[in-house]
Structure 1
Amino acid sequence: MDPRAPARKSDSDAAAVDLPSIGNPTLRIAWERYRDGHMKNKGRSDGTINNYRDHIERLLADWLDEPLSKLGTDPSLVTVRHEKLSKENGTYIANGCMRTLRAVYNHARKAARTLPADNPVSAIDWNAEHRRNTALGLSDLGEWFTQLAALKNPVRRELHLFMLLSGHRPEAIRKARVEHVDFRARVLHIPRPKGGEVKAFDIPLSRAMIRCLVRVMRIGRALYAEQSREWLFPADSQSGHIIEHKEKRSDLSKWGNDLRQTFRTIAQTAGVAELDVHLLMNHSIPGVNAGYITRNKLLSDHLRQQQEAVSHRMLEAGRPRQKEIKPRACAWPTLPSRRLLSELMSGKGLAAANVFGGSSR
């Protein structure tokens, strides 16, 4: 007989190991473990997490307290739900919801080996998906610039223009901060794009993009003095920046990812190489050899020249009707652009005229 008293487990250890919930988790518990143990640890963006949350907590809300084993042993429940979502919510969101459920189930089964090995989502017939062709062509840009100039909110006008000129995702641009703009290096840093912090990158700024940012900073100081200290595209919202970028199609025909597709299309007409487009848009670089390219080494000269070519092509195409989008006179504060730019520059070694290429604006 061992005379030593058995070791007593602490309350924290007992709380940390909840065998019933791990061995046969409900959808709610499996989702929380996937969210906190996988997505947040991998640095997934808030937008990605919120998208997954919408799938689980809204579209599959009635399943939250159901054990995953119920779905695993009866995949017909999943196929029926997929068909229902396809009819009521749309084919694309139905597919997206099932991809989320598949990921949560696979993650849960790492700890719950009693769950059926076959993922129940494998039983569905996926809806056909086609890439949306919503880009503007060169001949369409003139009308789009006219629509843009007619928008009442000057901050939103500059937001849409910058998204067109940069070709980046709306969420990343909406959340851009003043501190992330480096006018000396002529870049805008995106610290948490899609994919999380490990995908952080810098957007090279053309002259047109710099003028756009200077204008919106001037407007922000006049309209949203407090919010403009932190955000590039400020608004009177809880977060302090523009939350929703969508417009009525009757007011602005293309916005958001439509402009991202437009950037890709116009870059092709401007003669920008395929690899350079991937780098400018922060896409994954195809091929093994291309993976050895150091993106930051190309920012200061090559990629900025390519960005300049795309911006020039866009503004040239829109020039017959609208030479360049400017906020209405009533929205402009009295602070000159050169003076504001000199304040934003961290040093005095680079004159504003050099940044603007000699322009007085």
Structure 2
Amino acid sequence: MASYTQPCDARVLGRVLGPKAGGHMATIKLTEKSLEKFPLPVDVAQAYAWDTEVTGFGAVIGKTGVITFVARGRVAGKGERTKVKIGIAGRADGRTDNRVWNVGLARQAAKEILGSLAAGENPNAEKRARLDGPTLRDGLELHVSNMRADNCSQSSIDTITSEVEARLGRWLDRPLVELRGSDLRAIHAKITAEGKKHLANRIVRHVSAVWNTLDNASDDGLPGKNPARKVKRHAYVPRRKVIEDLPAWYAKVQTLSPVRRDLQLFALCTGMRDHAACHVRWEHVDLDRGLLFVPRPKGGEKRAFTLPLAPGVVRMLRARREENGILFAPYGGDHGWAFPSLSRKGAEVGSRTHGRDESAPIATVIPVAESKERRRDPATGKMALYLPGLHTLRRTFLTVATEIGISELDRHVLANHAFGTANVNATYIAQSLDHLAGCAARIEAALWDRMGAKPRAPTKGRRSRPGRARR
């Protein structure tokens, strides 16, 4: 856009712009050319040019030639007259697409602002509220507090906390209402470009949940609309991956440490979710009755359930408890974890570090932190996936259960899936634990048959080194 070098006083301004100009205001059709020819004000600080095409859309011309696009109108239902700044010509202020403001873009923005005014919304009031409104961090803390009050699982709390902090870090200490739909769309697109569609959708859901929590926390709510409503999420496509070659999978499992080997077999033969399987504690296991109580599964304490264990799983857990006492004796035992490991911090008893300095901090016992198995690829020298995560085993468990004729309702209960509103009849049925135990035994037998092996417990008294935590 050309600079302005011809200052004019108000009388000259009127002669240049014609009969619709008066004093320091003019009504013309705003175009790039008409603004280039617009004279600079001399005897006033600013001149106004209002558009003939969109009533309420205008440009403010300063003495230095800077043009600021604005929209002006009344807030419906309140009667107050307000003027809203759109942007400065030739600059990208406030835009996320890096395009500079011109007449066409400003006119479109003006239409949206005037539409908000007609709907009774004052964008300036929203801007004022943004200056001291609650931040994303405030909303996240309140939302997590509500999740704890609702007894949501720790894994759900950890997920939203870690993902929001990692992906929305620069927004954490800014007022949440400053996060616009265009900003969230850009974040969603960036994560998608990394090949992480599920994560991209989760980030949008996190923002929506935090916004709704803050919006419901006060009578007046938050100004503006939830930015998540402006983002088109990826359609849900169920992951169908299962273990196709169970004998090959079983052969790889046998190369793992005893604890991690048993964790893989336990997950396959129970169909439990990753976090619940890794965090099994002995006080929740009744080996005599063959039952496992899961106190805080996905969905929190209100979804707690008792899972019948197949015979092979019970035998494996008996041996696991005995062997844990041997492997983790130098660390005070397994600390109640069925599948323990050692933290990365601290020295392992018997290691070179511990041998050099017996006063060095000893590694602590924690549950297995990472269930996926990775090995270094000889061809590339990089770490590669050796065995899939436990959720793939969960899908395999349910697939085999279907193929051997376990009913949908029995599979539903064994997997602890929530009942949808379309499955009302299922909520009237309560299978006995004996019946479900029989189903679990049939599924376990089918899995071992397809692995081409027989269930076996670790050798009694086997000496081995405990595994380190993997993150």
1:119 alignment partner in structure 2: 226
After superposition, the C-alpha distances for 1:217-269 in whole angstroms (9 at most, x for unaligned) are: 12211101323251111222345221111102777433310100000101012
| Counterpart selection for 1:196 from 291, 300, 311 | 300
The 8 Å contact of residues 297 and 303 in structure 2, kept in 1 or not, is answered as: yes
2:188 alignment partner in structure 1: 82
Task: Give how far 1:332 is off.
Answer: 6.1
1:338 alignment partner in structure 2: none
Task: Give how far 1:191 is off.
Answer: 0.8
After superposition, the C-alpha distances for 1:162-216 in whole angstroms (9 at most, x for unaligned) are: 0000001111111111111112221011111111111111110111111111121
For 1:114 and 1:203, locate their aligned partners in 2 and report how far apart those are by CA, in whole Å.
43
2:148 alignment partner in structure 1: 40
Q: Note closer, same or farther for the CA distance 1:60–1:239 as it changes in structure 2 (3 Å cut).
A: farther
Matched, 1:312 2:445: yes
How much is the aligned-residue C-alpha RMSD, in angstroms? 2.4
Higher mean Cα deviation, 228-237 or 181-190? 228-237
Task: Give how far 1:75 is off.
Answer: 2.0
- Tell me the secondary structure at the aligned position of residue 229 of structure 2: helix
Matches within 5 A, 1:262-281: 262-281=396-415
Q: Note closer, same or farther for the CA distance 1:327–1:254 as it changes in structure 2 (3 Å cut).
A: farther
Matched, 1:258 2:392: yes
1:291 alignment partner in structure 2: 427
After superposition, the C-alpha distances for 1:102-122 in whole angstroms (9 at most, x for unaligned) are: 110011111353523531111
- Tell me the secondary structure at the aligned position of residue 293 of structure 2: strand
Rg larger for: 2
Task: Give how far 1:69 is off.
Answer: 2.0
Task: Give how far 1:285 is off.
Answer: 3.0
For 1:168 and 1:126, locate their aligned partners in 2 and report how far apart those are by CA, in whole Å.
28
Q: Note closer, same or farther for the CA distance 1:197–1:111 as it changes in structure 2 (3 Å cut).
A: closer
For 2:198 and 2:366, locate their aligned partners in 1 and report how far apart those are by CA, in whole Å.
31
1:108 alignment partner in structure 2: 214
For 1:307 and 1:70, locate their aligned partners in 2 and report how far apart those are by CA, in whole Å.
52
Task: Give how far 1:318 is off.
Answer: 1.4
TM-score by structure 1 length? 0.78
2:172 alignment partner in structure 1: 64
- Tell me the secondary structure at the aligned position of residue 165 of structure 1: helix
- Identify, as 1 or 2, the structure richer in strand: 2
Q: Note closer, same or farther for the CA distance 1:105–1:239 as it changes in structure 2 (3 Å cut).
A: farther
- Tell me the secondary structure at the aligned position of residue 188 of structure 1: strand
Unaligned stretches of 5+ residues in structure 2: 1-128, 344-363, 376-383, 465-471
- Tell me the secondary structure at the aligned position of residue 188 of structure 2: helix
TM-score by structure 2 length? 0.60
The 8 Å contact of residues 144 and 252 in structure 1, kept in 2 or not, is answered as: no
| Counterpart selection for 2:288 from 150, 175, 184 | 184
| Identity across matched positions, percent | 34
For 1:134 and 1:125, locate their aligned partners in 2 and report how far apart those are by CA, in whole Å.
26
| Counterpart selection for 2:462 from 321, 325, 331 | 331
For 1:212 and 1:28, locate their aligned partners in 2 and report how far apart those are by CA, in whole Å.
45
Task: Give how far 1:40 is off.
Answer: 0.7
| Counterpart selection for 1:97 from 203, 216, 219 | 203
2:268 alignment partner in structure 1: 164
- Tell me the secondary structure at the aligned position of residue 79 of structure 1: helix
Whichever residue aligns with residue 56 of structure 1, its letter is: V
1:243 alignment partner in structure 2: 369
Task: Give how far 1:98 is off.
Answer: 0.8
Unaligned stretches of 5+ residues in structure 1: 1-19, 334-361
For 1:253 and 1:134, locate their aligned partners in 2 and report how far apart those are by CA, in whole Å.
13
Aligned residues: 303
1:142 alignment partner in structure 2: 247
Whichever residue aligns with residue 167 of structure 2, its letter is: L
For 2:250 and 2:386, locate their aligned partners in 1 and report how far apart those are by CA, in whole Å.
9
Task: Give how far 1:147 is off.
Answer: 1.3
For 1:45 and 1:326, locate their aligned partners in 2 and report how far apart those are by CA, in whole Å.
31
Task: Give how far 1:134 is off.
Answer: 1.3
- Tell me the secondary structure at the aligned position of residue 203 of structure 1: strand
